[in-house]
Structure 1
Amino acid sequence: MYETGFRSQILLQRASRLFGLWTALWVALAPLPVAAQTPAQPNADEQEGEPGDAVPPAQPAAPGAPSAPTTSAQDSDAPDLVPTLPPTEAEQARGQPVAKITVAGNRRISTDDISAYLGQTRIGRAFSPEGLSRDVRELWDSGLFEDIEMDLTRRDDGVHLRLLVRERPSIKAIEFKGNNEVDDEDLTEALSAEVKTGTILSYAAIRRGIQKIRDKYAEEGHFLAEVENEVVPQKDNQVTLRFTIKEHEAVTVRRITFIGNNSIPDAELREVMLTGQDSLFNFGTGGPFRQDAFERDVLVLNALYYDRGFLSAQIATPRVMLTPDRTGIEVTLSINEGPRYRIRSLRIQERDADGRDVEPLGGRRRIRELVRAKPGDWFNRAELAKDLAAIQTLYRDEGYANVEALPDTNLDPEQREVDIAVVIRRNQPVYFGRIEIRGNTKTRDKVIRREMEIYETGLFSESKLEKSKRRITALGYFERVDISTEQGDDPQHVNVYVEIGEKPTGTFQIGAGFSSIENFIATAQVQQANLFGNGQSLAIQAQISGLRQLVDIRFIEPYLLDTRFSGSVNVYDQLRIYNQFSQTSTGGSLTLGYPIIEPHLRASLAYTLENNRISTSTTSTFLGTASAVSVFQRLPLANLFNDGITSSIRPAITYDTRNNQLFPTAGMFLQGSAEVATKYLGSDNQFWRYRTTARFYYPITDSIVIKLNSEAGLVTSPDPAGVPIFARFFLGGIFDVRGFFLRTIGPRLPLRATLDDHAPPIAEGANIGGNLMYYQNLEFEFPIIDAVQIRGVVFTDLGNAWNLEQLYCNAAPASPYDVSNPCFTFSRLLNVRTSWGFGIRWFSPLGPLRFEWGFPFSPLPYEESSRFEFTIGNFF
């Protein structure tokens, strides 16, 4: 409502009272002209004039207008002339100075802000009714007030104005009802451009906000969504704005029709489109229609035609229609393919700043080899763009960061051929300026800088910049790594900014499991992969169960004394209790590493010194005591009590291209090692042990990864008694072949439980471990709930251990099962244990939780058909 009134404290004469009501409702401050008046006899009050008031003369009739009938002055019954309206208070105040302006009624909006709208009416200026009218109109158009009233008073010192306003309420809260498909946060974000809490209520903005909500629902395919709003008054001139939504069903794509696609079939066009693609949860409906996805599809279709050589292809404005039942959409795309072009000529040349031809970097032949297209081929824009990018990378790796390589095409529609000319301009060489690291609140700069292959004042290189990013990411310390560049102090220098987002690198890992052999198993590990921000790693592991006790402390320094050498120290005390013996090992190891080819290929040398004790009776460590559950009492195992000092060296070579050392999703990890324990190193136990590890990570999409892990091992000994039993391989469990009990896979001997020849044999035979081992794990990992990093996994495992020593083959009758037979033949390499399973993994703040169910494909009679285990920590 817009209302203005002018009130005067001076008593008006009776003529003013006659027009008082008219004046109070008058919107225009200037007096309105009188179009016509009905003749009437003036009364006595109307004949008395206000002193100083002048009655304006009657206006003459317009030329050509009919004259009014006249009467004789002597005729006493003839009416007087039509009276004219007296000037209003605003008219009488015209030209007088504005002496005072008072603002009242405002609570949130300051007086200064209101006065700013009064551009024509200011203290000291001459008063103008028209200026005041414009000022009040601008104040009303601000949308801040529900009512505006202006009082005017004429005084000796000038015009006094009193502005009385009633403010519109502010929005205290915004509520949504009925929104199941779109979250409150998304709707609030959609509204924020028009309506938000704390702002002044505007019905026009509400109408625009409703359209924003409808647009948001249209993006999700709910074109029929209805939105109503309600304004709920609150205290202190505030309101709650409530939107009630009826979502209705999503409108799905029923049919996509292509017209004019003579060269590319419908199926191929649909394949590159997001619109109309079915998914697991759409149940064959073709999915909801999304405007943003559809606009992207049109661009992709254009690009597809250009990549096939149709350089004149055009896609008309698509026609989108609702089905009669208003639950589906039919899309029609009209395509004008035009001719398909072949390459007639392809010329690549480099020019200097003066436009002269110069020899390209590396020679013309090298540049031409980077471009795969040749005359006679169909034109392909995408392939040409890749080739030109390779040329630009060649120049940028040599310091020419601002190289230009733009193609120019000349079409010949009649011959349907295209001439391509690529002009290269290398411009000036560029050097790295400042290299700044941002966002590392914990990790020291040197930990990041030493992974970078670029340095300040060095020649610019695009490939080294990308490699630096990959190496920093591979540390596993950061959630994100962004590298950007900008011009430095002059055009010949660029500054590099490394923006990182740190994540917790400390983990507390626990695991537990159950089996009829070990009863309850518990493990715990505390690890800090970035100790004190120095890039060092410290891990403390403890494990306890009915058959195992372990304490292990490991410290890794990747850059020993700030050199390229790496070093690690490992100290441990462990007790392992098998069904037939127990092993106590106390010792440690030292490892040195060096990069052969930075950063992927490394060599290392480890020295291990430990004291081993094999026992068939109670064994103890500082963790406690434990007894062997079922020990060998007969001695067909000549190496059963082989123990004492083991002193060994272990050279290894590692090739690692993983994109992340902690949670890899791409790349590979290959390692081979040979451990030698010999009397020449002061070792009581002698053996040669070889191991190989191969891990591959292949991303199908950004979130779906296929993983393959395989390990093989071989151990031999020059000792006639054979390989010490603790150096042999035992498989089974969540850490290698899932679905089986821990360390139960391998060759078995049907030995007796006591020295009595009449004693019954050990149930299911005694697992003696193998000289030869192989296992592999194939996993398909996919997201379940990305928001909380819950992922699913489907896997299949394969593996076994085989005995190569004839001593044990001849010691006892053979096992009744080929997969556990202690007598080796090459054909038995095909006798492996297999399983499959599935699991759930949650990348929690404490570390990655693993919940996995394993199912052996062919369980033996004494094995279970399924097994559930869980732990915290990555598998591989």
Structure 2
Amino acid sequence: MNSDLRRSKLRRSNSTIAILAFISTATAAPLSAQAAIVSDIRVVGAERVGPTAVKDNITIDPGKSFSDADIDQSIKQLYATGYFSDVHISVEGHSLVVSVHENNLINAVIFNGNKKIKDDKLAGLVKSKAAGPYSESQVQDDIKTIKDAYAAIGRNNVQVTPQVVNIAKNRVNLAFVINEGDRTTISKLTFSGNHAFSGGRLAAVISTKKSTFLSFLTRKDIYSETKKDADEDALRKFYYDHGFVDFRLVSDSATFNSATNSYDVSFIVDEGEKYRYGDISVTSTVQGIDADDLKSLVITRKGDTYNAEDIQKSIDAISKRIEAAGYPFAKVTPRGNRNPEGRSVSIEYIVDQGERAYVERIEIRGNTRTRDYVIRREFDLNEGDAFNEQMIARAKRRLDALGYFTSVKISTRPGSAPDRVVIVVDVEDQPTGSFGIGGGYAVGVNGGPLLEASVEEKNFLGRGQYIKVAAGASTSGSQTYTLSFTEPYFLGERLAAGFDLFKSVTTSSDYYDYGEEGISLRITAPITEDLSTTLRYTYKQITYTGESDWQDNLSAPYQNLINNGPWTQSSVSQTFTYNTLDDQNLPRDGFIAKVTQEVAGLGGDSNYYKLSGKARYYHTLSDSQDIVGSVTLGAGYMTSTNNQDLNIFDQFMIGGSEIRGFEDAGIGPRTSDGDPLGGTKYFTASVETSMPTPGMPQDLGFRSSVFLDAGTLYGNDADLYGDVLHDGSALRASAGIGLTWASPFGTINLSYAVPFLKQDYDKVENFRFGFGNQF
């Protein structure tokens, strides 16, 4: 496109030169010879665009002086519109003549040969559009964009060839012919220089994974420079969070083998020594801020292992306090004083007055699916607000936690004035949808194969919304259906509002089926970064059905449930959730607790108050072997609110979900026929240790565990019609082994447990199968 770079110099007539020479002599100003004035502007060649559009895109006005620099700028602006392949500007007499040659118009943009990326997605990526101008330079940019899109799904050797077909005067069809090629894989993923952590443990830290037989589902074996940069940051953070303040990533490389169409990825690290915290202090140079008042916000403690994440949390807590006190420009800077002999680092948190700067704008780049506002709303500041580095770091963590992006980078650059800052957010979208199929086998009288299928999308239509549809069935006749939807920013606020529709039929014995269907409306509001509360309203209809000739075999309570149903339940509940887990899918450290109070009686057949809670603590027992221990405690209490007996279905029922080795609702009060009756009080406890499954590549996500569960349920308060009741508070306990697989379909849990403390009337189920995360 040499013609695109060619520029016509200003041609002056003899009379114009004479006038300029006279002005130059009279004023003795040597630069004035480059200035000129025209009385009108004449446009030639703008048949489709029109003269007005051309005049609007030049910097020269009649009656005003201009120079060669103005001509240069005008030519650049006209080329930038994309409508012209050639532009000439000259002066003829008192007129400025702008001659243009228009680009062809695109009649249609077509994609051929593409199967892995659909037409509509490619059309949204390229800048060449139907009814727009055809530009060879733009086509080359579009080819690069298409190749980048294929590289993001692991097809780095894609070939894209443009084809242009003239169909009429100044009109063309543009086709991108795509040879997608084979999928690129990662054949090797190695680490060297690591001693404190195994290669498998480090492989679990980064997002790039070695190719396996399931990689076509997970797409985690895709190599890209953006993902490599994110992996480098992840490794640094991992080591800094585990006390290795001298860690260095010596090098990383990716060697492409064209014969196998695969990459060999390697990381060379220098771990350094492990450090602990020395003295911890807080100082302030800002008048009005007392450092002593901020010490209680610091969570780093002398003698603890150095952890960069804890330092960041302490900075956040101090920053929020001083922001609330009216100091938007104050900043917190940690200063470390290293003691190599004692392998300790003293930390001083310095609060000082930062530079007064304001956010000029926030630029979002790289998001091909997620909408801009989904990213912007994670920032606590907007254009015009005081610039605050801690708010930027906070937004970065929130964006990472969404799970929408392979990588998130936030940088800054100077704005249009010394006190203006431009925030640049670079992201790379990743797949957020999943399709799951789970199965299992329920033992017992009504046992048999179980099957569940689900479709889940965490970033629905790029709006950040969550939707899930699931259905399950078993050969015993049990069925489940659920539909869930969540809008994470309801009414533009950080409120997660949603609903759950559900229906289930469970075969509980040979004589009756238990069914539930209804709706649950919920809204969750954050209180702090770690604490949130959820308000929920639930309405459901409960049915017990059975054949009439079987009812004589039922105990009196269940005859009542069948004869007097269906039953309705209307309740409102509030849940407080405290969550400091380091990873929501595979926690290794942290604490999560939920406390729920529920009141039923807003219409319906149930009147009660329930209080229940569950807490679980995780702690890494061995960093090098990736052994994680956990302790779980749960308890519940309920009472009638109308001084009448409770319904059986109102009461707590616990079993294998809480104490493995038992059936669902397998422990607690029962009728003489063995039917569960529930209870008003329960408590449970569990200890568990998990580790990577020996002999299995850690990248596959298999972990084995040993556990001990215990608990009890008692205090039945239902109207039993004189039926015999087993209502002891005797402790139940079991021990067993488990296997967890972080599969592409979701987390799958298998366990085998043997109860060693139980009652004769308890229902045992040694083997359990679970699909999805449970808490």
TM-score after normalising by structure 2: 0.53
Q: Is the 8 A contact 1:650 1:673 kept in 2?
A: no
Q: Which residue of 1 aligns with 2:359?
A: 432
Q: Which residue of 2 aligns with 1:683?
A: 604
- Indicate how the Cα distance of structure 1 residues 349 and 606 shifts in structure 2: closer, same or farther if over 3 A, else same: closer
Tell me the amino acid that sits aligned with residue 834 of structure 1: A
Q: Deviations over 1:446-504 (max 9, x none)?
A: 22332332333322334433332333344344455454445555554252435355343
Q: Which residue of 1 aligns with 2:142?
A: none
Q: Which structure: greater strand fraction?
A: 2
What is the CA–CA distance in structure 2 between the aligned matches of 1:568 and 1:777, rounded to whole Å? 32
* Match among 519, 523, 532 for residue 447 of structure 2: 519
Q: Which residue of 1 aligns with 2:572?
A: 650
Structure-to-structure mapping, 1:104-119, within 5 angstroms? none
1:841 aligns with 2:740: yes
Q: Which residue of 1 aligns with 2:479?
A: 549
Q: CA RMSD in A?
A: 5.3
1:534 aligns with 2:463: yes
Distance apart, 1:366 and its partner CA: 6.1
What is the CA–CA distance in structure 2 between the aligned matches of 1:422 and 1:539, rounded to whole Å? 45
Structure-to-structure mapping, 1:584-599, within 5 angstroms? 584-585=514-515, 587-593=517-523, 595=525, 597-599=527-529
Is the partner of 2:604 in helix, strand or coil? coil
Tell me the amino acid that sits aligned with residue 645 of structure 2: G
Q: Which residue of 1 aligns with 2:490?
A: 560
- Indicate how the Cα distance of structure 1 residues 857 and 452 shifts in structure 2: closer, same or farther if over 3 A, else same: farther
- Indicate how the Cα distance of structure 1 residues 514 and 610 shifts in structure 2: closer, same or farther if over 3 A, else same: closer
Tell me the amino acid that sits aligned with residue 798 of structure 1: A
- Indicate how the Cα distance of structure 1 residues 858 and 550 shifts in structure 2: closer, same or farther if over 3 A, else same: same
Q: Is the 8 A contact 2:555 2:671 kept in 1?
A: no
Structure-to-structure mapping, 1:351-500, within 5 angstroms? 360=287, 362=289, 398=327, 426=353, 428-478=355-405, 481-488=408-415, 492=419, 493=421, 495-499=423-427
Distance apart, 1:524 and its partner CA: 1.2
Is the partner of 2:748 in helix, strand or coil? strand
* Match among 735, 750, 755 for residue 856 of structure 1: 755
Tell me the amino acid that sits aligned with residue 448 of structure 1: I
- Indicate how the Cα distance of structure 1 residues 644 and 670 shifts in structure 2: closer, same or farther if over 3 A, else same: same
Structure-to-structure mapping, 1:36-75, within 5 angstroms? none
Is the partner of 2:757 in helix, strand or coil? coil
What is the CA–CA distance in structure 1 between the aligned matches of 2:298 and 2:654, rounded to whole Å? 52
Q: Which residue of 1 aligns with 2:506?
A: 576
Distance apart, 1:873 and its partner CA: 1.1
Distance apart, 1:707 and its partner CA: 4.0
Tell me the amino acid that sits aligned with residue 570 of structure 1: D
| Relative contact order higher in (CA < 8 Å, ≥ 6 apart) | 2
Q: Is the 8 A contact 1:644 1:684 kept in 2?
A: no
What is the CA–CA distance in structure 2 between the aligned matches of 1:732 and 1:561, rounded to whole Å? 40
Tell me the amino acid that sits aligned with residue 691 of structure 1: S
Distance apart, 1:552 and its partner CA: 2.2
Distance apart, 1:551 and its partner CA: 1.9
What is the CA–CA distance in structure 1 between the aligned matches of 2:498 and 2:348, rounded to whole Å? 57
- Indicate how the Cα distance of structure 1 residues 588 and 774 shifts in structure 2: closer, same or farther if over 3 A, else same: same
Distance apart, 1:652 and its partner CA: 0.5
- Indicate how the Cα distance of structure 1 residues 553 and 436 shifts in structure 2: closer, same or farther if over 3 A, else same: same
Distance apart, 1:567 and its partner CA: 2.7
Q: Is the 8 A contact 1:565 1:592 kept in 2?
A: no
- Indicate how the Cα distance of structure 1 residues 425 and 766 shifts in structure 2: closer, same or farther if over 3 A, else same: closer
Q: Which residue of 2 aligns with 1:415?
A: none
Tell me the amino acid that sits aligned with residue 463 of structure 2: N
Structure 1 portions without partners, runs of 5+: 1-182, 191-214, 222-270, 275-291, 310-342, 351-358, 410-419, 619-626, 752-764, 815-820
Q: Is the 8 A contact 1:529 1:537 kept in 2?
A: yes
Tell me the amino acid that sits aligned with residue 663 of structure 2: F
Q: Deviations over 1:547-586 (max 9, x none)?
A: 6222222222222343444432332332223237635545
Q: Is the 8 A contact 1:639 1:721 kept in 2?
A: no
* Match among 745, 749, 755 for residue 667 of structure 2: 745
- Indicate how the Cα distance of structure 1 residues 589 and 272 shifts in structure 2: closer, same or farther if over 3 A, else same: closer
Q: Is the 8 A contact 1:782 1:791 kept in 2?
A: yes
What is the CA–CA distance in structure 2 between the aligned matches of 1:604 and 1:590, rounded to whole Å? 12
Q: Is the 8 A contact 1:553 1:571 kept in 2?
A: yes
Q: Is the 8 A contact 1:712 1:775 kept in 2?
A: yes
Distance apart, 1:392 and its partner CA: 13
Structure 2 portions without partners, runs of 5+: 1-185, 200-243, 248-267, 339-346
- Indicate how the Cα distance of structure 1 residues 537 and 581 shifts in structure 2: closer, same or farther if over 3 A, else same: farther
Tell me the amino acid that sits aligned with residue 730 of structure 1: M
Tell me the amino acid that sits aligned with residue 739 of structure 2: I
What is the CA–CA distance in structure 1 between the aligned matches of 2:530 and 2:738, rounded to whole Å? 32
Is the partner of 1:766 in helix, strand or coil? coil
Tell me the amino acid that sits aligned with residue 384 of structure 2: T
Structure-to-structure mapping, 1:85-234, within 5 angstroms? 185=188
Q: Is the 8 A contact 1:651 1:673 kept in 2?
A: yes
What is the CA–CA distance in structure 1 between the aligned matches of 2:577 and 2:614, rounded to whole Å? 10
What is the CA–CA distance in structure 1 between the aligned matches of 2:762 and 2:718, rounded to whole Å? 27
What is the CA–CA distance in structure 2 between the aligned matches of 1:421 and 1:796, rounded to whole Å? 43
Is the partner of 1:748 in helix, strand or coil? coil
1:822 aligns with 2:750: no
- Indicate how the Cα distance of structure 1 residues 572 and 793 shifts in structure 2: closer, same or farther if over 3 A, else same: same
Tell me the amino acid that sits aligned with residue 470 of structure 1: R
Distance apart, 1:847 and its partner CA: 1.6
What is the CA–CA distance in structure 1 between the aligned matches of 2:194 and 2:496, rounded to whole Å? 54
- Indicate how the Cα distance of structure 1 residues 748 and 652 shifts in structure 2: closer, same or farther if over 3 A, else same: same
Tell me the amino acid that sits aligned with residue 750 of structure 2: F
Q: Which residue of 1 aligns with 2:126?
A: none
* Match among 430, 444, 463 for residue 502 of structure 1: 430
Tell me the amino acid that sits aligned with residue 568 of structure 2: T
What is the CA–CA distance in structure 2 between the aligned matches of 1:422 and 1:516, rounded to whole Å? 61
- Indicate how the Cα distance of structure 1 residues 803 and 296 shifts in structure 2: closer, same or farther if over 3 A, else same: closer
Range with bigger deviation, 429-438 or 790-799 = 429-438
Q: Which residue of 2 aligns with 1:614?
A: 544
What is the CA–CA distance in structure 2 between the aligned matches of 1:369 and 1:613, rounded to whole Å? 54
* Match among 605, 613, 632 for residue 692 of structure 1: 613
1:805 aligns with 2:717: yes
What is the CA–CA distance in structure 2 between the aligned matches of 1:560 and 1:567, rounded to whole Å? 6
Q: Is the 8 A contact 2:332 2:350 kept in 1?
A: no
Q: Is the 8 A contact 1:601 1:653 kept in 2?
A: no
TM-score after normalising by structure 1: 0.48
Q: Deviations over 1:642-688 (max 9, x none)?
A: 5334141313132343455555555444433343333xx44244444
- Indicate how the Cα distance of structure 1 residues 407 and 185 shifts in structure 2: closer, same or farther if over 3 A, else same: closer
Distance apart, 1:861 and its partner CA: 6.0
- Indicate how the Cα distance of structure 1 residues 501 and 427 shifts in structure 2: closer, same or farther if over 3 A, else same: same
Is the partner of 1:731 in helix, strand or coil? coil
Q: Which residue of 2 aligns with 1:161?
A: none
Distance apart, 1:870 and its partner CA: 2.6
Q: Deviations over 1:595-624 (max 9, x none)?
A: 262555444443333332223327xxxxxx
Q: Taking every aligned residue pair, what percent have the same amino acid on both sides?
A: 25
Q: Which residue of 2 aligns with 1:712?
A: 635
Distance apart, 1:515 and its partner CA: 0.5
Q: Which residue of 2 aligns with 1:775?
A: 684
- Indicate how the Cα distance of structure 1 residues 468 and 706 shifts in structure 2: closer, same or farther if over 3 A, else same: farther
